[in-house]
Structure 1
Amino acid sequence: MAGAAARAGIPIIHLSTDYVFDGSKDAPYTEADPVAPLGVYGRSKLAGEETVAAANPDHIILRTAWVYSPVGKNFVKTMLRVGAGRDELGVVDDQRGNPTSAADIATGIVKVAGQVLSGAAPVKPGIYHMIAAGEASWADFAQYIFACSATLGGPVARVNRITSDEYPTPVRRPANSRLNSSKLAAAYDVELPHWQGSTRACVEQLVKTEGWNA
């Protein structure tokens, strides 16, 4: 697709992930930081970035993280579904990131694409980080989801904070998934809203429709 777009003289916007980093940095990652994916998924996403960049000089690669939505499989829906059947659950507290709404990502992409297509801003090829404002651990995120749900009459469960070692998964996750998005703001004046407001909107939609089981 990147090659076909290049042959037609069309820029391409490509989505990638925080999983290109190993999570060892103490601060939010910038686009200039070295990549070091921990697993197959991260390596495949990094390969995608490199392939797109090589195939189309007018590329905008957007890395995002911790994506959630009222549809599909994601953390918000999982917490509500599990919380509907349990009084308490353990959630990892030693991994941090930027919970980011898929709807906000879509809005941000439209803003970037609109500037490029209208000529308001030229294509500025490169990699950019597009994440919500603010950060949280998975346990913080879960606690806020249930706090929102409680005010709406939805599922509520007590969150017990645990370590990654207490919740082993087949895929290694970066301990630090925080991304710095100042480059995107400077280039295209695009900044996504704080994760808490968008999370509340997502939880409200799911509670109204009991959509956590969908």
Structure 2
Amino acid sequence: MKILINGRQGQVSHELQRQLGAVGELIVLGRDQLDLAQPDQIRRQVQTLRPDLIINAAAHTAVDLAESEPQSAFAINAVAPGILAKEALALDIPLIHYSTDYVFDGKKDAPYNEDDAPNPLGVYGQSKLAGERAVCDVQGKHLILRTSWVYSTHGRNFLLTMQRLLQEKPELRVVADQIGAPTWAGTIAKSTLALIEHWQTNKTVKWGTYHLTAQGETSWFGFAEAIGEALRQQGKPCANLLPISSSEYPTPAARPLNSRLDCTRLQREWGVSQPDWQAALRECLAE
């Protein structure tokens, strides 16, 4: 099987490259080879390579920057997925596309399920929602996988930022009123592998939109505490952590206070489940 992965340097792509080699030939294209802001280039590459599966692991993920450059965010996050979906349909192959908890406004008191109405607060979430709808409108074989709070030991993310700041500063203030599930990119890649294997061994599968995050929940402050505890266990210095509210840490883009996603549908329909976020963090740090 020939698998086309868009995005070379991102956290999820990095882990996909580690996990998927056993199930097929991986063709991994970075921005220099496939710029998602260039529709003709997307069409040309897919038509030339003729893969058996497309995984779109590339996106405009700079949440705050998206507020000042919406045209770029929509080109990459909204227009490009729709083009990929059309090209996948033409080849009669599936598309796996990753989305985000930021399609919701965070006002629900319970975890969001796939039937809840999206209502993004900022440009990033709006562009990702538009991408979801563009993929769905094509009506081809697709999996839209919404995840949250992605981190890894590669790239730019909360884990690496906290590891650095906790060792540099005597005191650190971290938002404590946003709740979600920190999700290791390795968990996403392993779950993607399980989904591909399920698709290959089952004649009928239920394509569509699913939630894929680690189990459990915490705040950014709780996540920072877990990272700090791991540093202490290694005998490294660690700052004193202070919880603050979102209003005390204003950002250009508003964040949902509730980013919890209910992942039971993915378990029910595809037999794929994820580990607890704390267990996944320990595995990530051990690697």
- When normalised by structure 1's length, the TM-score is 0.92
- Alignment gaps of 5+ in structure 2: 1-83
Deviations 1:45-73 (A, max 9, x none): 00110111112421111000000000011
Deviations 1:5-28 (A, max 9, x none): 111111111100000000000100
Is 1:181 the equivalent of 2:263? yes
C-alpha distance in 2, partners of 1:203/1:60?
A: 29
Residue 193 of structure 2 corresponds to 110
| Distance change >3 Å, CA 155–CA 192, structure 1 → 2 | farther
| Mapped contact 1:22–1:174 kept (Cα < 8 A) | yes
| Distance change >3 Å, CA 203–CA 52, structure 1 → 2 | same
C-alpha distance in 1, partners of 2:252/2:283?
A: 31
Residue 126 of structure 1 corresponds to 208
How far is 1:155 from its partner?
4.2
Match of 2:252 among 163, 170, 183: 170
C-alpha distance in 2, partners of 1:138/1:121?
A: 41
Residue 55 of structure 2 corresponds to none
How far is 1:204 from its partner?
4.2
The RMSD of aligned alpha carbons is 1.2
Amino acid at match of 1:64: T
C-alpha distance in 1, partners of 2:284/2:192?
A: 19
Is 1:28 the equivalent of 2:111? yes
Is 1:70 the equivalent of 2:171? no
SS in 2 for 1:159: strand
| Mapped contact 1:5–1:56 kept (Cα < 8 A) | no
Match of 1:138 among 199, 217, 220: 220
Match of 2:180 among 87, 91, 97: 97
| Mapped contact 1:21–1:36 kept (Cα < 8 A) | yes
Higher relative contact order, chain-length normalized (CA < 8 Å, sep 6+)? 1
Amino acid at match of 1:166: E
How far is 1:152 from its partner?
1.5
| Mapped contact 1:130–1:181 kept (Cα < 8 A) | yes
Is 1:161 the equivalent of 2:204? no
Deviations 1:77-99 (A, max 9, x none): 11011112111100000000011
Provide the aligned length of Structure 1 versus Structure 2: 204
Residue 165 of structure 2 corresponds to 82
Question: Please, which moves more after superposition, 79-88 or 62-71?
Answer: 79-88
Match of 1:150 among 225, 229, 232: 232
C-alpha distance in 2, partners of 1:164/1:39?
A: 15
| Distance change >3 Å, CA 157–CA 121, structure 1 → 2 | farther
- When normalised by structure 2's length, the TM-score is 0.69
Residue 9 of structure 1 corresponds to 92
C-alpha distance in 2, partners of 1:184/1:193?
A: 13
How far is 1:195 from its partner?
0.7
C-alpha distance in 2, partners of 1:168/1:40?
A: 16
Question: Please, which moves more after superposition, 164-173 or 120-129?
Answer: 120-129
SS in 1 for 2:194: helix
SS in 1 for 2:99: strand
C-alpha distance in 1, partners of 2:205/2:97?
A: 13
SS in 1 for 2:145: strand
